[in-house]
Amino acid sequence: MESKMNSQKSLLKIENLSVEFCSRQKKFTAVKNVNLEIFPGEFVALVGESGSGKTITSLSIIDLLPENAKITEGTITFTGKNKSIIFQEPMTSLNPLLKIGKQIEESALIKGISKQEAHNQAEKLAKMTGLEDTKKIFNCYPHELSGGMRQRVMIASALMTNPELLIADEPTTALDVSTQNKILSIIQNLKSEFNTALLLITHDFTVVKKLCSRIYIMYKGKIVETGKTEEILKNPQHPYTKALIDSIPDAKRRHEKLPVHFGEWQNE
Ligand SMILES: Nc1ncnc2c1ncn2[C@@H]1O[C@H](COP(=O)(O)OP(=O)(O)OP(=O)(O)O)[C@@H](O)[C@H]1O
Ligand SMILES: [Mg+2]
């Protein structure tokens, strides 16, 4: 398995990437000598505490770094045609003045396909992400939809260009648990439907366990640990990774505690 992976050509290869912020003579390195590789169709997680550099790494990949940031070292090689990103809070990346239908279609029109084709494609993808009544929804503005629906719109828009790589930056943190699970299963289906590769940015190891075969752990701008999901879960090396894994809600342990609470409650 490992040797098969190694002989395959990577879809994305980040080598020795460093990103620096410059503000009034002050310099701050947000990403330090990062190496990261994703193979076609592979689901990979980038996990790290707040401020560790996950978003800045992903913005480097799609060429959308803020103006005061620059790549000071390293290379990013992408061998596919298209890559898309889904942001944490879709409200900030959807145009509030544009109806949903136009918004989804727009991302494909850039590619130069006809309006009708773009519309058909948008309808197909919207349905795939669980936006059933497309006639009605395509006529809505972003503020008229729920958070879960907006996230579905974001996924449908992202898929309009048939990206070989999808970056999802905390795609479900703003959503309630049941909507989270629905969005995650839509993302899970992308592998079998389109062979899309995924870079999933998250703090949530339960989600990583479900979706990703490999993990990169980021800490203070550096990749401090990487490996197959099951191996990292079994034998984490970095203290931050250990702490994260300890915080996974353990169904078995919760179950053991239950009779105690139940007993107390019954005695009242
Ligand atoms: N526009 C900016 N100007 C200056 N510093 C920034 C800017 N954006 C991010 N940073 C800094 O770069 C570092 C990395 O930020 P980044 O947004 O990549 O963290 P993150 O791992 O995505 O965190 P979170 O989990 O909270 O989203 C942080 O120290 C952050 O304060
Ligand atoms: Mg972030």
CATH number at residue 211: 3.40.50.300
- Give the rounded percent of residues in the chain with a pLDDT score beyond 90: 63
> Is residue 87 assigned to a domain?
no
Residue with CA nearest ligand 1 atom 26: 50
Residue with CA nearest ligand 1 atom 29: 51
Instruction: Give the end of a domain, one of 119, 135, 163.
Output: 163
Are both 104 and 20 inside the same structural domain?
A: no
Are both 171 and 245 inside the same structural domain?
A: yes
Using pLDDT thresholds of 50, 70 and 90, give the confidence band for residue 180: confident
Mutate to test the pocket of ligand 1, among 27, 54, 92, 204 (most ligand atoms within 8 A of CB): 54
Are both 14 and 137 inside the same structural domain?
A: no
At 183, phi and psi to the nearest 5? -65, -40
Are both 182 and 212 inside the same structural domain?
A: yes
Are both 63 and 174 inside the same structural domain?
A: yes
- 264: part of which helix (H) or strand (E)? helix 251-267
Residue type (1 letter), 28: F
Are both 10 and 46 inside the same structural domain?
A: yes
- 145: part of which helix (H) or strand (E)? none
Local structure of 251: helix, strand or coil:
helix
> Is residue 38 assigned to a domain?
yes
Nearest ligand by distance to the CA of 20 = 1
Are both 185 and 242 inside the same structural domain?
A: yes
Of 48, 97, 84, residue with least CA distance to 164: 84
Q: CB within 6 Å of ligand 1 — which residues?
A: 21, 30, 48, 50-56, 66, 68
Nearest ligand by distance to the CA of 203 = 1
Local structure of 45: helix, strand or coil:
strand
Question: Do residues 117 and 135 touch, judged by C-beta distance below 8 A?
Answer: no
Query: Parallel, antiparallel, or unpaired: how do β-strands 83-86 and 222-228 relate?
Result: unpaired
Q: Please give the number of the atom of ligand 1 that sits closest to the Cα of 66.
A: 1
> Is residue 21 assigned to a domain?
yes
- For residue 50, the CA-to-ligand 2 centroid distance in Å is 7
Q: In what order do the strands lie in the sheet with 26-38?
A: 26-38, 12-23, 69-78
- For residue 55, the CA-to-ligand 1 centroid distance in Å is 7
> Is residue 63 assigned to a domain?
yes
Mean pLDDT of 169-183: 86
Q: How many domains does the chain have?
A: 2
> Is residue 86 assigned to a domain?
no
Averaged pLDDT of the chain: 87
Buried b (16+ CB within 10 A) or exposed e, 92-111: eebeeeebbbbbbbebbbee
Are both 71 and 101 inside the same structural domain?
A: no
> Is residue 54 assigned to a domain?
yes
Which pLDDT value is given to residue 6? 54
Residue 29: strand pairing partners: 20
Are both 168 and 256 inside the same structural domain?
A: yes
Residues 6+ apart with CB under 8 A from 87: 93, 154, 169
Are both 158 and 172 inside the same structural domain?
A: no
Q: Residues whose CB is under 5 A from ligand 2 (ion)?
A: 55
Mean pLDDT of 31-48: 97
Residue 198: give the domain boundaries: 2-80+164-267
DSSP assignments along 186-226, one per residue: HHHHHHHHH--EEEEEES-HHHHHHH-SEEEEEETTEEEEE
Are both 180 and 251 inside the same structural domain?
A: yes
Mean pLDDT of 147-173: 91
Mean pLDDT of 163-187: 89
Mutate to test the pocket of ligand 1, among 55, 70, 222, 244 (most ligand atoms within 8 A of CB): 55
Buried b (16+ CB within 10 A) or exposed e, 212-248: bebbbbbbebbbbbbbebeebbeebeeebbeebbeee
- For residue 266, the CA-to-ligand 1 centroid distance in Å is 49
- For residue 201, the CA-to-ligand 2 centroid distance in Å is 8
Mean pLDDT of 187-196: 90
Mutate to test the pocket of ligand 1, among 19, 21, 58, 62 (most ligand atoms within 8 A of CB): 21
Residue 262: is its pLDDT beyond 60? Answer: no
At 133, phi and psi to the nearest 5? -85, 75
Using pLDDT thresholds of 50, 70 and 90, give the confidence band for residue 250: low
